Amino acid sequence: MKNFILLALASLSLTAHAQDSFGPAFKQINNEVQTSANAYANLRDASVTIGHRLTGSPNGAKAEEYAYNLLKSYGFDVKYQPFEVESWNRKTIAVKVGSSTTQMNSVRAVTLAHSPVESKLTGEIIDVGNGLDADYQPLLEQVKGKIVLIYLGVLPGSPNGTGTLHRSEKTAIAIKYGAIGVIIINTVKNGVLLTGTASVTGKLIPIPAVCIGLESGMELKEKLKTIKQFSNIEMTNFSGLIKARNVIATLKGTEFPNEKIVVGGHLDSWDLATGAIDNGIGSFAVIDMARTFKKLNLKTKRTVEFILFMGEEQGLLGSKAYVAQTKRNKTIGQVNFMLNFDMTNDPKGFSTSREEMEPLFTSWGAEVVKLDTNFKNLFLAGASLHSDHQPFLLEGIPTGGGAGGRLPNNSGPFYHSDGDTFKLVDEQGLKNTVRYGAMLTYALANTVMIPVQKQTEEKLEAFLISQGLKEPLKIAGEWRWKD
């Protein structure tokens, strides 16, 4: 029976493929973006006139208005989706380290988001390696009352197969074992400091968490091998209710208006730089995909919503607000697919959480290759967390986006740092994100049949386990299934 169902689905997929003919539309999209794309110029202008785009800040509000006005100028029906959430912002930070509580030197550091609004503590430092649960097992009680030193990724020399976790998940483990503070060592050379949230819930954590540079962090690790080290951490931060707005531009479907393709990217950024890579290249690509649809007067059978989410950096706040609202008004079932563009650049193929999409995605990719052989028609299937697709994924909704691209100008190490500026952006890479993303959006919105649907709770649980996501979701308190 199972084989019969799989064959039936494959047959339907092939039938849909046979009826899809998107080459002419893809060619129009390709020509329009290659000759008239606005994403690069718009992002450059926003970087100069707005600066950073921190959610809840005056700059964040300016970014929301900027996106709204752009989409309105392109002829869209645009709306704000306001939401009010608890947000966070840094104020002051001072970190000192030394061999005694009276002899300490200042260390360059940056506060990790959702640290307490005020903290002033001194404590002994204990090295917990990669900061995984297994690293605490030999130490256990020794960790209580200490400040833990954690490597952000996977330490060189770690056993083969050693996994890693998000900085927030590593912080949650430290709290579980009784640490009073967290010092995370960045993995990037030349003292680059990285910010980001240290909270798995988007709420304040009870202990301070900071990031220090690679060189000073590894030097500290060496000192700890022979002599005790102590740290003094003093910080002040803001935490409170803020108002923010997602920006939504809607293209109404001609045949299935109650079926919806969501195309999103987070507009917000951290406040250390202008967030050109994270996520200017993604959000401004989404805006230009929308512009392209309007400029070419492209029609879609399904409704397309182009969404600029705010609050991603502080805990997926905007995308969670969107999903929560659709659940309240009982329209969550209308969302057929969510495409997410977060730090996407120059994709070489398409990705999705659902491997069943391979026949369609590669058939559409083959049409793209006819227009540009630099597109390699890669197909990647799998699921991950920590971006705006996550709230959709956890509702069983298929997600996807670009695959196989590389960030421009060695910009990867500078995300969440003061080095994330417009000079890192590559114009053609950004154009490629726009044109391939627009083609995928057009195809999904017009294909005869999307061969995957919202997963049932049972299937979703099994899927998340198969993707290795149970542990991080449990740490975050988002695992809703019983063991």
What does each C-alpha distance from 459 to 145, 187, 394, 464, 471 come to in angstroms?
42, 37, 11, 9, 17
Q: Look up tokens 């969302």; give the residue.
A: 335
Q: Which long-range contacts (CB under 8 A, 24 or more apart) does 414-418 make?
A: 414/188, 414/192, 414/273, 414/277, 415/194, 415/277, 415/278, 415/343, 416/194, 416/195, 416/196, 416/270, 416/272, 416/278, 417/188, 417/192, 417/193, 417/194, 417/195, 417/272, 417/273, 418/193, 418/272, 418/273
Contact of 285 with 105, CB cutoff 8 Å: no
C-alpha 25/C-alpha 266 separation (Å) is 27
Tokens of 235: 């910080």
Closest-CA residue to 469 (of 355, 361, 353): 353
Contact of 407 with 277, CB cutoff 8 Å: yes
C-alpha 405/C-alpha 387 separation (Å) is 17
Q: What's the confidence (pLDDT) of residue 79?
A: 98
Contact of 433 with 402, CB cutoff 8 Å: yes
- Other C-beta atoms within 10 Å of 163: how many? 11
What does each C-alpha distance from 286 to 154, 341, 432 come to in angstroms?
33, 7, 12
- Other C-beta atoms within 10 Å of 41: how many? 12
Per-residue pLDDT of the chain (483 residues; tens, 9 = 90+): 444 444 444 444 444 454 578 999 999 999 999 999 999 999 999 999 999 999 999 999 999 999 999 999 999 999 999 999 888 999 999 999 999 999 999 999 999 999 999 999 999 999 999 999 999 999 999 999 999 999 999 999 999 999 999 999 999 999 999 999 999 999 999 999 999 999 998 899 999 999 999 999 999 999 999 999 999 999 999 999 999 999 999 999 999 999 999 999 999 999 999 999 999 999 999 999 999 999 999 999 999 999 999 999 999 999 999 999 999 999 999 999 999 999 999 999 999 999 999 999 999 999 999 999 999 999 999 999 999 999 999 999 999 999 999 999 999 999 999 899 999 999 999 999 999 999 999 999 999 999 999 999 999 999 999 999 999 999 999 999 998
Contact of 174 with 130, CB cutoff 8 Å: no
> Going from the N-terminus, what domains does the chain have, and what CATH number goes with each?
21-86+241-475 (3.40.630.10), 91-237 (3.50.30.30)
Residue 351 pairs with which residues in a beta bridge? 380, 401
Contact of 353 with 381, CB cutoff 8 Å: yes
Phi/psi at 91 (nearest 5 deg)?
-125, -85
C-alpha 333/C-alpha 260 separation (Å) is 9
Q: Which long-range contacts (CB under 8 A, 24 or more apart) does 102-107 make?
A: 104/230, 104/231, 104/232, 107/212, 107/216
Assign residue 449 a region (left: φ > 0; alpha: ψ between -120 and 50; beta: otherwise): beta
Burial 88-109 (b: 16+ CB within 10 A, else e): bbbeebebbbbeeeeebeebeb
Asked if residue 279 has a cis previous peptide bond (ω within 30° of 0), the answer is yes
C-alpha 105/C-alpha 218 separation (Å) is 16
**Number of Cα atoms under 13 Å in the Cβ half of residue 377:** 16
Q: What's the confidence (pLDDT) of residue 19?
A: 55
Tokens of 371: 């227009």
Closest-CA residue to 483 (of 457, 466, 461): 461
Tokens of 134: 């297994």
Contact of 398 with 460, CB cutoff 8 Å: no
Residues, the chain, total? 483
Q: What's the confidence (pLDDT) of residue 9?
A: 43
What predicted TM-score, i.e. pTM, was given to this entire model? 0.91
Closest-CA residue to 421 (of 312, 269, 309): 269
